[in-house]
Amino acid sequence: PGGAADDAKPSLEANDVVLSVDGEEIKDADALIALADRVVRGRVEPLPVLVAFDRRGQRMLTVLELGRPGLQDPGMEARKAWIPVTVQAITPELGQKLGVPGRAGVRVTRVLGRSATAGGLEVGDLIFAIDGDPVEATQPSEADVFDTMIRQRKIGTTVTLATVRGKEERMVKVPLESSPRLAREMKKYEDPNFEFRVRDVAEMDRVELGVPAGEKGVLVESVNEGGWAALAHLADGDVILAVQGDVVGDVAALQKKMEAVAASKPSSVVLHVRRGFRTFFVEMQTGWSGR
């Protein structure tokens, strides 16, 4: 079934017969839809309800959370200092091959912003200390040690990095930027009809997913199995650029468009989608009967 029915434990399956919800008898599909609409109307958080159902002669119970929150704003976290690079830890094996045996630190794998470029950092640079403090990273899981050390500094100040490029020891001064908003800080929206969840695009999403700077859209976080979006092969990580030909620059715009779709109940809905470096159209077939 997908959605709340699929998330319940035990989940509802095809051919299960719903008998009652919170003690209220369900005589047909219209009665179930009317009850669900009444329960969730005006709510901003899901409401758990007790569902009695028949499964091949067994009288079973489960708890469903009816009513998904629509637009969610988790709020912004305090900005921290940041150097716009990504790094990997220098493992003992990697250090041996790079000519720096026994030294802990990180290797620059990507340069993202102007401050890192202005400071002279390049992909392949090895960083061993920040203002004289050693970067103690020797295992793959310790790569975030570098970011943690930087976050403890003040935005707008300059740090001195002890680096190696090739065989040359270098001291590099880099100004600290304000960190971009994180994925968990982005506003989110979950569509109850097409059963997919999206959020605003974070700066790192653009880098990792190949979304061009300035291109507007929303990132698909999840698609419920069996829903209309899943049947149309919309996938996690897709970026929705437009709905029915209208650009959706953020989740608020997408929510407004999807609410208009729900009101007009078209037989299909066309999304313009980016997946990696290519864009294409996804046509979601609908079945509004009883909704």
Question: What pLDDT digit, counting tens, does each position of 22-36 carry?
Answer: 999 999 888 887 887
The reply to whether 21 falls in a domain is: yes
The reply to whether 75 falls in a domain is: no
Instruction: Give residue 229's pLDDT.
Output: 96
Average pLDDT, whole number, for the chain? 88
Domain of 34, in residue numbers: 1-67
Q: Are residues 136 and 198 in the same domain?
A: no
Instruction: Give residue 67's pLDDT.
Output: 66
Instruction: Give residue 76's pLDDT.
Output: 58
The reply to whether 72 falls in a domain is: no
Cis bond upstream, residue 10 (ω within 30)? yes
Comparing 16-20, 79-83, 262-266, which segment has the lowest mean pLDDT?
A: 79-83
For residue 261, what pLDDT band results from cuts at 50, 70 and 90? very high
Instruction: Give residue 19's pLDDT.
Output: 94
Residue 100 burial (CB < 10 Å; 0-12/13-18/19+)? middle
Domain final residue pick, 120, 150, 178: 178
Output the CA torsion 130→132→138→143 (10° steps). Answer: -10
Q: Are residues 248 and 227 in the same domain?
A: yes
Q: Are residues 256 and 208 in the same domain?
A: yes
Q: Are residues 288 and 206 in the same domain?
A: yes
Q: Are residues 117 and 196 in the same domain?
A: no
Maximum Cα–Cα distance across the chain: 79
For residue 252, what pLDDT band results from cuts at 50, 70 and 90? very high
Q: Are residues 220 and 162 in the same domain?
A: no
Question: What pLDDT digit, counting tens, does each position of 13-22 carry?
Answer: 888 999 999 9
Question: What pLDDT digit, counting tens, does each position of 110-165 carry?
Answer: 888 776 676 789 999 999 999 999 999 999 999 999 999 999 999 989 999 999 99
Q: Are residues 267 and 196 in the same domain?
A: yes
The reply to whether 121 falls in a domain is: yes
Q: Are residues 215 and 290 in the same domain?
A: yes
CATH number for the domain spanning 164: value is 2.30.42.10
As for how many domains the chain has, the answer is: 3
Instruction: Give residue 68's pLDDT.
Output: 57
For residue 102, what pLDDT band results from cuts at 50, 70 and 90? very high
Best CA proximity match to 72, nearest among 205, 201, 198: 198
Instruction: Give residue 80's pLDDT.
Output: 86
